[in-house]
Structure 1
Amino acid sequence: MDPRILDLFCFWLLLSSLLRLCSAISSASDHRYALGDLVPFYANKVGPFQNPSETYRYFDLPFCPPAHVTEKREDLGEILNGDRLVHAKYELNFRQDKPLQSLCKKTLSVEDVRIFRDAVRKDYYFQMYYDDLPVWGSVGEVVDSSGRVHDRRYFLYTCVHFEILYNEDRVIEIGVATNGETIDITEDKDVVVEFKYSVKWKETNKTFERRMDKYLQQSFLPQHVEIHWFSIMNSCVTVLLLTGFLTTILIRVLKNDFIKYSCDEEIADDFDESGWKYIHGDVFRFPPFKSLFCAVLGSGTQLFMLSIFIFMLAIIGVFYPYNRGALYSALVIIYVLTSGIAGYSAASFYKQMDGVYWVGNLILTGGLFCVPLFLTFCFLNTVAIGYKSTAALPFGTILMILLIWMLVTSPLLFLGGIAGRNSTADFQAPCRTNKFPREIPQLAWYRQTAPQMILAGFLPFSAIYIELYYIFASIWGHKVYTIYSILFIVFMILVISTAFVTIAFTYFQLSAEDHEWWWRSVLCGGSTGVFIFGYCFHYFFARSDMSGFMQTSFFFGYMTCVCYGFFLMLGTIGFKASLLFVRHMYQSIKCE
């Protein structure tokens, strides 16, 4: 088969998946049922409540499995989310009450008792889906009357009570209660247990369109909305201060510089030429490691566009609560489709810098973010396989992702690179570059790279610090984040403050006659990612109860990749803002 046909087919497949995602419909069904219809009911997973990444298949615990366990066919996002849905043995027919009845009766062996007791000790929860509505319950409880470990008693819940609300022919809400009948599993001995369940239906006036409102109670509304707005106001004040600070530089300092540097030669002889004009012959000298520099810009531009598209989908309501795997599907699809942007941006800058090894530059661009992410994934997936967790991706899914990368991502990357290489003019510098670089004077310690990175990263980080907790609690906890409009405002504040701060530090650097600003602007702009990584330690050890090797590995492994992505994205924003500023400065004076 012609490779181009394969590429077109994969592109169409990804685009159609994105269109289905944007429809914000959880299944193809219209969710309408007649009296007695069997409503889809799936058991999903179990795991420690405090460790959201450590999840296992529902029937890894010795519950009552059906005679033949039938798995639901899942899409890519559900698999990436760790969902492993199987048909449950419960029969919850539409609008049919059921009194307490037996699900199954079995004898738990000593090994089964130990498995359940370990689950109860670790505060396991289970998750199910009924007509695409999530439902949770606890596996058991620990009774500690004396406060001593050896006096603790472990009880397994054996009865599940379902209460379901309906409106005409649609399911609106489902709740579950498990704290009824229990059985003591403290001792290592065989136990005969009978698992039971009951179903109660009630009518409600709530419409089908509002059935997800219940899950907003697990979000940060309304009790924390004032804190969100306080965070935004605090961030806006920060941005206003930065804007005023930058405006002062542009209007007062630069104005005086322009007057000084634009005066007649006779008057100019009375001045000692110093400051940023003194290095006009070196300020547009291309940085070392040009290929790596352009790869950073290409990857950063792609990640920025990825963020913008994700926010667009979020604001129009695609990522409603518990839309299984929608965010992960969107991340994969949009990242693949924006790889052409990375190739175009990297190749265009590389050509402007007179680069010749453009194929190698595109390969470096394509692997700059993907390779560290893939290596991290390989390690974490191995850990998940060792734990037999649902977080481990099946081999078929891994193979599909690799095929998408080879058949779609790589061609789009090179097509974007070819377009960027062929449509970009030479770099137009306002000043002619000297043949030999000027020696940089000895700089004070606070003008070095590390201190400037600390100062440049602290200000944007302070603007998003409050919002970070809610984001982390959603990703690494059981809260639901729904106020994406506020999050988008905070993101734009982060972008603007990063650009302003980087411009300010670039001006200070040039005023000190240090012309090596190219990499410095990337490092200062991206330093906020380092602060976010530092916040990860604070959140993990001070604000969460996560524990265990697997959860720790997943948290720090994936958050390292996220912070690295922020470094690339914000570093690119910092450089591009500084480039516009530096061009404006040197275009406003006579440099020859």
Structure 2
Amino acid sequence: MASPMTMVFVVAVVFLAAVGTDIASANSSDHRYKEGDPVPLYANKVGPFHNPSETYRYFDLPYCSSGVVKDKTEALGELLNGDRLVSAPYELEFMKDKDVRVVCKKELSKEEVAQFRSAISKDYYFQMYYDDLPIWGFIGKVDKEDKEPNEYKYYLYKHIHFDILYNDDRVIEINARANPDTLSDLTEDKEVNVEFVFSAKWKETDIPFEKRMDKYSKSSFRSHDLEIHWFSIVNSCVTVLLLTGFLATILMRVLKNDFVKYAHDEESAEDQEETGWKYIHGDVFRFPAYKSFFTAAVGSGTQLFTLTVFIFLLALVGVFYPYNRGALFTALVVIYALTSGIAGYTATSVYCQLEGTNWVRNLLLTGFLFCGPLFLTFCFLNTVAIAYKSTAALPFGTIVVIVLIWTLVTSPLLILGGIAGKNSKAEFQAPCRTTKYPREIPPLPWYRGALPQMAMAGFLPFSAIYIELYYIFASVWGHRIYTIYSILFIVFIILLIVTAFITVALTYFQLAAEDHEWWWRSFLCGGSTGLFIYGYCLYYYYARSDMSGFMQTSFFFGYMLCICYGFFLMLGTVGFRAALLFVRHIYRSIKCE
């Protein structure tokens, strides 16, 4: 009979397959139109170009809005992404080889002129969707040539032209551009009559409908940039792997000498005093302090590792194609909910192996260890977004849905996993007996302390991924599109390998110095890469980006803190698991009385 954990895992796989299929074909329409049919055009949001999290509804700016504006029903992922689509007050019908022109007149008051001028000064852009194809454009421009700041001219683009390509009865591509000859001067605070013009020109193309999203994948990075990207990643990975292999060879030779030495000592004199890591064989498997907290961290890290693997699987099969709105956020929420049983099972199983008694408290700690800080961060940032009246603020109904998912899916699976872990009856496998009283740890130099060891442990894995971090940050906190998931997956595998090895190496040096408290140290050393990533956040924000303002700063550092904390738990678990395998192996290979 399959174990409860296996059943949970199978259910997760089946559900993910269904979700992946649903996400990949999220649009039920066949995108086929007849001559004169209206093609859905939705206005999404506006906001400062350099602050991707600070977005507002399109009609928060006083655009011409004649007609009825209706909100589009959106999925959970779209709402989490900050999308708030509304129907545009004008239509661009499907017209083959014809030009379309829509005019909308509006008189702007002094307050509305000031509102537009403020938006133009902050480089506001707009985003729309035409037949699910994204459209961008700036709302205006500032004339700064040879002028003092108080003499700048502020111009509003009145005419937006769309070039639309079609193949038979389907829309293939759309490009938007502002007409530089039709501007409205908004420099002075006075009423202005503006005639907004939206025109479209239809052209035929032979690009098939199935490849209409390839444009966005190819435009994310130029071919020259892609070659540099590949070269940088390969160069970094080869350097790190060579260094890792060099250190691994040294460690293997040292271990081999240790085995020969200890075998010779056993044959020569039974009463000879033991030294090195064999000397502490009676303490090395002594259970760590704060075992409930430790096992909760291992359980949460295991869940986050599983979540990351599933996300990579969906990415590699093409689910997260460009501008599949909210697909990534939907997958994150669904997969995290479905894998909570893994966290409960792992934490409780390890806790019981470490002879813990209060498994219910351990299970509660596991459930809140990652979700608790994430929830508190979300509450603060959502409050900030509400104060700014930004679309980044989640509607009350969406928050209720997330709470229901956590209550009806995450929590029950966590409890079921915990019960399965408690009933697994697994015992901790230790090749050496633990003595009744712990030995005193000898005085160690400062560089063998926890913080210096964490600094050494985090640097090498971070050096393997820091090049890729720039491209990820430019996508998440910028306007580039990340599509090269194969590179990212390779880097992730290297990150795991390097993290595991460096943790094993530092654990060996710690045991050789007769320091037997390696449990927490291995977890902290493995997870220390998360601290380096957060340090990179500081560098990226101040040196590589133009983000500014309280809201954007709060969102960047708040959510990156949660992401780096997740990396800390995940890589800490990888480091601990690798160290545990290593310690068991070396003590199983020698004779311990």
Normalized against structure 2, the TM-score is what? 0.95
Per the alignment, residue 4 of structure 1 pairs with none
Give runs of aligned pairs for residues 99-498 of structure 1, distance below 5 A.
Answer: 99=99, 101-180=101-180, 181-230=182-231, 231-250=233-252, 252-263=253-264, 265=266, 267-269=268-270, 272-498=273-499
Aligned partners of 1:352, 1:570: CA distance in 2, in Å?
Answer: 22
Please give the secondary structure, in 2, of the residue aligned with 1:223.
helix
Per the alignment, residue 3 of structure 1 pairs with none
Alpha-carbon distance, 1:227 to partner: 2.6
Per the alignment, residue 76 of structure 2 pairs with 76
Aligned partners of 2:556, 2:241: CA distance in 1, in Å?
Answer: 31
Alpha-carbon distance, 1:162 to partner: 1.0
In structure 2, runs of 5+ residues without a counterpart are 1-7
Check the 8 A contact 1:236/1:493 in 2, yes or no. no
TM-aligned CA distance change 1:46 to 1:264, over 3 Å: closer
Alpha-carbon distance, 1:238 to partner: 0.9
Q: Which moved more, 1:187-196 or 1:15-24?
A: 15-24
Counterpart amino acid of 1:439?
A: E
Alpha-carbon distance, 1:245 to partner: 1.6
Per the alignment, residue 562 of structure 2 pairs with 561
Check the 8 A contact 1:100/1:196 in 2, yes or no. no
Check the 8 A contact 1:102/1:194 in 2, yes or no. no
TM-aligned CA distance change 1:284 to 1:18, over 3 Å: same
Counterpart amino acid of 1:229?
A: W
Please give the secondary structure, in 2, of the residue aligned with 1:485.
helix
1:588 pairs with 2:585: no
Counterpart amino acid of 1:227?
A: I
Count, aligned residues:
581
Per the alignment, residue 5 of structure 2 pairs with none
Per-residue CA deviation, residues 464-499 of structure 1 (Å, 9 max, x unaligned), is 011100000000000001100000000010011000
Please give the secondary structure, in 2, of the residue aligned with 1:32.
coil
In structure 1, runs of 5+ residues without a counterpart are 1-7
Check the 8 A contact 1:503/1:577 in 2, yes or no. yes
TM-aligned CA distance change 1:186 to 1:361, over 3 Å: same
Please give the secondary structure, in 1, of the residue aligned with 2:423.
helix
Counterpart amino acid of 1:38?
A: P
Aligned partners of 2:222, 2:318: CA distance in 1, in Å?
Answer: 16
Alpha-carbon distance, 1:570 to partner: 0.3
| RMSD after superposition | 1.7
Per-residue CA deviation, residues 533-582 of structure 1 (Å, 9 max, x unaligned), is 00000000000000000000000000000000000000000000000000
TM-aligned CA distance change 1:21 to 1:387, over 3 Å: farther
Per the alignment, residue 515 of structure 2 pairs with 514
Seq. identity, %: 67
Aligned partners of 2:441, 2:323: CA distance in 1, in Å?
Answer: 56
Aligned partners of 1:207, 1:429: CA distance in 2, in Å?
Answer: 62
Per-residue CA deviation, residues 15-39 of structure 1 (Å, 9 max, x unaligned), is 3895355551240011111111111
Counterpart amino acid of 2:306?
A: M
Please give the secondary structure, in 1, of the residue aligned with 2:548.
coil
Aligned partners of 1:265, 1:106: CA distance in 2, in Å?
Answer: 95
Aligned partners of 1:111, 1:222: CA distance in 2, in Å?
Answer: 46
Normalized against structure 1, the TM-score is what? 0.95
Aligned partners of 2:142, 2:589: CA distance in 1, in Å?
Answer: 74
Alpha-carbon distance, 1:272 to partner: 4.0
Counterpart amino acid of 2:236?
A: N
Per-residue CA deviation, residues 61-84 of structure 1 (Å, 9 max, x unaligned), is 000124322010000000000000
Aligned partners of 1:368, 1:16: CA distance in 2, in Å?
Answer: 24
Aligned partners of 1:147, 1:460: CA distance in 2, in Å?
Answer: 49
Alpha-carbon distance, 1:259 to partner: 1.9
Check the 8 A contact 2:454/2:524 in 1, yes or no. yes
Q: Which moved more, 1:573-582 or 1:180-189?
A: 180-189
TM-aligned CA distance change 1:95 to 1:538, over 3 Å: same
Aligned partners of 1:102, 1:167: CA distance in 2, in Å?
Answer: 23
Alpha-carbon distance, 1:183 to partner: 0.5
Aligned partners of 2:374, 2:266: CA distance in 1, in Å?
Answer: 56
Please give the secondary structure, in 2, of the residue aligned with 1:256.
helix
Counterpart amino acid of 1:153?
A: K
Please give the secondary structure, in 2, of the residue aligned with 1:199.
strand
TM-aligned CA distance change 1:43 to 1:241, over 3 Å: same
Alpha-carbon distance, 1:248 to partner: 2.8
Alpha-carbon distance, 1:226 to partner: 2.2
Per the alignment, residue 3 of structure 2 pairs with none
Alpha-carbon distance, 1:263 to partner: 3.4
Aligned partners of 1:266, 1:155: CA distance in 2, in Å?
Answer: 90
Alpha-carbon distance, 1:98 to partner: 6.2
